[in-house]
Amino acid sequence: MINDERIIADLTELEAFLIAVESGALGLSNAAGVVLATNNSDGRRFVAVLDDNHQLLLGRWVTEEVFQTGQDLVRNGPKRPH
């Protein structure tokens, strides 16, 4: 599912990831949304970039703390300009 083993460990990293997605810096085409989710097979938390069909384009693991405290950031988007 997620080939990138890097883990987002704090809200600053999560915000930087969201800015990179929104600005197109990651080169994702057809990105329609970002969500925090749980992997069904092992319960690990991750942030997912989804396309128009709700298919996973990119995922990055997050810590439990980022999952719990970053929900508003993902829902409302980053405040920093990009």
Segment 47-62, tens digit of pLDDT: 999 999 999 999 999 9
User: Is residue 25 domain-resident?
Assistant: yes
Give residue 81's pLDDT band: very low, low, confident or very high (50, 70, 90): low
For residue 53, the enclosing domain spans: 7-76
Are the C-beta atoms of 62 and 45 separated by less than 8 Å? Answer: yes
pLDDT band per the 50, 70, 90 thresholds, residue 4: low
Structure confidence by residue, pLDDT tens digits, 20-32? 999 989 888 889 9
**Assigned domain for 2 exists:** no
pTM listed for this prediction: 0.87
Q: What is the DSSP letter of 24?
A: T
Number of domains in the chain: 1
Residue 81 domain-assigned (yes or no): no
How many helices and strands in the chain, by DSSP H and E? 3, 4
Q: How many whole angstroms separate alpha carbon 4 and alpha carbon 6?
A: 6
Query: How confident is the model at residue 40, as a pLDDT?
Result: 94
